[in-house]
Structure 1
Amino acid sequence: MDKLDPPQVEIVGQLQAISNGHDTEVLISVLESVGWDIQKAAEFIFDGDLSTNRPIITPVAAFDVDDSQQSITPAGQNVSRSHNVGHLRTMWDALISIFAMPIHLLSSLLRFTFSTLRIPFPPLHFAGANSYRALRPSTTDPRNAADRWIRALEEETGAFPINCSRSPAAVVTGAHAGPSTSRRHAYIAENLEDSARVLPDFFSGSYEDVLDICQRDGRVACIILVSEEHDDVAEFKRSTLTDPAFVKTMHDNNFVVWGGDIRDRDAWSASQKLQATTYPFIAFLALQPRRNHSPAAQSNSSPILTTLSRHQGRSVPDTAPTSARSLVQHLEQQLLPRVTPFLTRHKTLIQERERDRILREEQDRAFKDSARRDSERVAAKIHAERLEAERQQRQQAETREKEERHRMEQERREKYELLRMDWRRWMRKSLVPSSVATSGPSVRIAVRLPDNERVVRAFSPSSTLTALYAYADSKLIPSNLRPEDDPEHAPSTGLDGIDGLDTYIQRHSDGPTAWWGFKLALAYPRREIKWEASKCLRDIDGLQDGGQVVVELHNGGRVSSPNDASDDEYDTESD
């Protein structure tokens, strides 16, 4: 401490008061690491990390200060004092430093003595221009701190926020009601009487959120800071913050109102940024054009958040800087006429931009919907074309398969017909001559062919039904196939003779009728003569003495038979 300058000693004492008596050497180390910035040092300490010397950088909003018309003198005259505020503050800090130095030295000596004797030493607080009571725990969320301060203000003043208060019936009848906890009812601002005790509609959020609202919506912000160590704060809460005219003025002009106690980190940070020197403190902020620019440059440049005016000190009498009457006069006669035109233009510009943004979004959405519908139509068309192509492919495959089956069937039929033709020609050469009756009794049988040709042949009574079928089958041989070219042997090896043919027919998988390809039937009365192996003609009812049979061909499962012929040329002979 002996090596420090008086201002540094003062800063160390203030930091000790804030931090509840941390070790001096540690505090000096922290202050040196942050360039003797008491705000950064306090934030560093309350973050709970004293083991490193890293500096804490706190973002500070870069505000223009427009205090040209902010102060109101007790006589009611507006006098600019922006040029001497800094000088008065410097003089005040110097006086405080002179008077505080002995106390800080004595406090340090006592703290060293008590720490040597291991006796707890209570921290000493000295309320100076820049000294504050110990901050509340740094873990408190700014929104929770703001909400807690608003509820405490409601309980202390017995008033209610203008938009979140007791029921309208209670206002009309004058019935007493306690502080609002549910916040389900609201005053009607148009029917607000001067005797009603109301509070501004405080924003329950952080200080940085208020600045964002001002920049986004083009609203005027009212920042209210208090310190419980100042005696003027209680009267300020009861008189100014509950004044109906002051509250209604801010409500009608859509102010965003935010307040807090500097014991909370967020409110203390706001007091440092707004350069508050005493309490209660009120500052009005809003967007304004950048200074030192031509009107054309101002129209093209973005506005900057500006401190329009600051008011601090006592709230009584009515001419005091923070009295409700002074603030209402300042708002109605100076601040609002000065900032409203620009804010109106800025809000109009914001609304136009918002409309343009909404229009672009709608156009983009319509374009996307149209593109989506077009894409769906194209996809549906592609899908339909793919299905049609697949259907055609299946149809073509089925057609090819059907044609292939038909071709194979045709080839099979052709092969079968060739084979059957070989059997017919072999039967004509080998079986038909042997069935002719040469001597003795005979049976004359007339055969009506499918082309209505009628042939007659004499068979031996001992001839079998196979010989009759073979004779009828041989008559189906085309005329271009000459008998002398008929094969000597049967198409299947080892099946020569009628017995061999019977054996071959019985082995046929589709049966005798399918192999022969036709049926024989008596002409009248019609009766089918089914083929049986080794069955003699004399054993067939209707053919013992001869007769007439008809050849009926199979046609795709249907039997076609010629018209029955007359028996004019038919003779039955017997021995």
Structure 2
Amino acid sequence: MDGLQGPQIEALQQLQSILGPHDTEFVVSVLESVSWDVQKATDLLFDNETTKVIAPTQATPMEQLELDDNEDSSPTIRHSHRDQGGPRSNWNFLWSLLTVPLHLVSGVLRFVFSVLRIPIPSLPFMTTNSYHSHRHTSPDSRSITQRWVQQLEEETGACSSKRSMANVVTTGFEAGPSTTRRHTYPPAASDDNQKILPDFFDGTYEEVLDICQREGRIACVVLVSAEHDDDADFKRSTLTDTAFVKILLDNDFIVWGGDIRDKTAWDASQKLQATTYPFVAFLALQPRRHGAPSGAAPVVTILSRHQGRSAATASVLVDHLNTQLLPRVTPFLVRFKTMLQDRDRDRRIREEQDRAFREAARRDREAIEMRVRQEKEEEERVRKHAEDVKRKQEDLARQKHQAGIRMEWRKFMRNRLLSPEARGLRLAVKLPGNGRVVRSFPPSATLTALYAFADSHLIPSNSRPEDDPSQAPEGVVRHAWWGFTLASAYPRREFRWKANASLTETGLRDGEQIVMELITGRESANGQISDDEYESESD
């Protein structure tokens, strides 16, 4: 020991804190074989085949944390050395032979203690195998932390505050408004002797820093070493102390911890520069110091570190929190949380304003769309109405035109088809309305003459026969279409027009009473009356 230098003494102390009570000469020989590299010495002793860098580097989060100037602490920075080789395989074989009996005894004792539910004592040979197995498990930080908390409950016989709160809910006690932020202690307990542990966060150390950054909460980091003699006493007295747990709960601390045998806790110990265990550190968001420019964003700062059993007792920690740490950091955190609340309120107001704006824009858009739709519907209605009016006007004009042409044809047929009255069949035709005409037709007369006679009485009375056209009017030849039919009065017999049919062939008798019946309801799609049933008579 007298010939060791400062870094070598530091490496020796660090390895001894991990291994627990061991022969100093043996530890020195191991360190000398690996050029005083604690990482390689640890891997060599515990047969870890994968080399892991444990010394802090420039890229580690430790470089982003500041140490509170108000705390009287001067942490020692560990140094890593280059690998210069060593008889690693020989030491692995030797250590394996030495630890085989210890592994067997440790396994039997742990099994017996677990069956009897007796807290497992912190002895070196009881945890050597555990260290070896933990170092080879998957790096799932959440499951590692949960396993450590479970082991902590088994060793101390205490229950975490989270589980205790769950028991309160199931047994009917008042649980409070939240299960994550409790402000009373004990939160419950059907058994007054039940010890309560802090509510350990089961995420990663980096997530703890992120929560401190985002929510302005104070973090309490607890690091232990099962190889240390004071480990069991610290867990049973400090971590279950009523006043200590109460102050953590009442002030909404986020508590995180682990055993440095696990990689996650070991990495955190390097970032926090822990040298002695048990180790407790408090971190929180604080303004930047050391000449930082005004307006610089606050940074997560190490507020205090408590190393060793004497510095990490419950009374010391509670007194430190009540008289120093909380009075010093609470005002800034209150302002920071108020700022977060104001920011959150402003964000909600903006969201509500944006939502109201979008809702108003939606209503305006729907109103515009409805107005446009109504205008289109009105335009369509006006257009259809105009088309209907135009079509009716065109139909009326066409009907008038057709009626004019038909009247001209009627006059033309009166002049051409009506022969002078002669003795023969005397027929009486009852016209629409109350009119009645009588005429005698020669026996050779056809139905066309009878129809032309009846049709001529539809010509206005002011139209003189001498004014009838001598030539066929221009337009569609409509002489095959009469627009009426002739039938006997009683019993009714219809005499449908047929080209070149004589009166005697139709069964008409002298003195027959004939009724002229106008044909209605036979208009086609183009507004004209169909004459498909009539044939043209060529004469």
Shorter chain as denominator, the TM-score bin is 0.5 to 0.7
Q: Deviations over 1:360-415 (max 9, x none)?
A: 22222222222222222222333333344444445555555565566666655555
For the residue of structure 1 that corresponds to 2:311, the secondary structure is coil
Q: What amino acid is aligned across from residue 274 of structure 1 in structure 2?
A: L
For the residue of structure 1 that corresponds to 2:199, the secondary structure is coil
Inter-CA distance 485–457: structure 2 relative to 1 (3 Å threshold): same
The answer to whether the aligner puts 1:335 opposite 2:330 as a matched pair is no
Inter-CA distance 225–529: structure 2 relative to 1 (3 Å threshold): closer
Aligned mates of 2:246, 2:389 — CA distance in 1: 90
Corresponding residue to 1:350 among 308, 331, 340: 340
What is aligned with 1:309? 304
1:384-533 aligned within 5 A: 384-397=374-387, 415-428=405-418, 432-433=419-420, 435-437=421-423, 459-460=441-442, 467-474=449-456, 476=458, 479=463, 482=466, 486-487=470-471, 515=482, 517=484, 519=486, 530=495, 533=501
Q: What amino acid is aligned across from residue 515 of structure 1 in structure 2?
A: W
Output the TM-score relative to the length of structure 1.
0.63
What is aligned with 2:40? 16
Q: What amino acid is aligned across from residue 517 of structure 1 in structure 2?
A: F
CA contact (8 A) 2:148 2:259 kept: yes
Deviation at 1:293, TM superposition (A): 5.5
CA contact (8 A) 1:11 1:38 kept: no
CA contact (8 A) 1:67 1:309 kept: no
CA contact (8 A) 2:224 2:231 kept: yes
Deviation at 1:425, TM superposition (A): 2.5
What is aligned with 1:383? 373
Deviates more, 1:137-146 or 1:256-265: 137-146
Inter-CA distance 468–307: structure 2 relative to 1 (3 Å threshold): closer
CA contact (8 A) 2:485 2:519 kept: no
Gaps of 5+ in 2: 1-6, 12-30, 100-123, 125-129, 172-179, 523-539
The answer to whether the aligner puts 1:189 opposite 2:186 as a matched pair is yes
Corresponding residue to 2:352 among 362, 371, 394: 362
What is aligned with 2:147? 148
Inter-CA distance 446–61: structure 2 relative to 1 (3 Å threshold): same
Inter-CA distance 59–481: structure 2 relative to 1 (3 Å threshold): farther
Aligned mates of 1:539, 1:239 — CA distance in 2: 136
What is aligned with 2:281? 283
What is aligned with 2:502? 534
Aligned mates of 1:144, 1:412 — CA distance in 2: 100
Q: Deviations over 1:112-161 (max 9, x none)?
A: 6689xxx7874999x9xxxx966624633211111111111011100012
Aligned mates of 1:196, 1:447 — CA distance in 2: 125
What is aligned with 1:64? 66
For the residue of structure 2 that corresponds to 1:327, the secondary structure is helix
> Percent identity of the aligned residues?
42
CA contact (8 A) 1:521 1:529 kept: yes
What is aligned with 2:361? 371
Deviation at 1:340, TM superposition (A): 1.6
Aligned mates of 2:238, 2:356 — CA distance in 1: 53
Q: What amino acid is aligned across from residue 139 of structure 1 in structure 2?
A: S
The higher radius of gyration belongs to: 1
Deviates more, 1:393-402 or 1:447-456: 447-456
Q: Deviations over 1:307-328 (max 9, x none)?
A: 11100112xxxxx211111111
Corresponding residue to 1:108 among 79, 86, 100: 86
Q: Deviations over 1:218-242 (max 9, x none)?
A: 1111100011222211111111111
Aligned mates of 2:274, 2:97 — CA distance in 1: 25
What is aligned with 1:554? 518
Q: Deviations over 1:430-472 (max 9, x none)?
A: xx12x424xxxx6777777779888775555675665444444
Inter-CA distance 461–236: structure 2 relative to 1 (3 Å threshold): closer
Deviation at 1:204, TM superposition (A): 1.5
CA RMSD for the aligned pairs?
5.1
Aligned mates of 1:539, 1:517 — CA distance in 2: 19
Deviates more, 1:202-211 or 1:462-471: 462-471
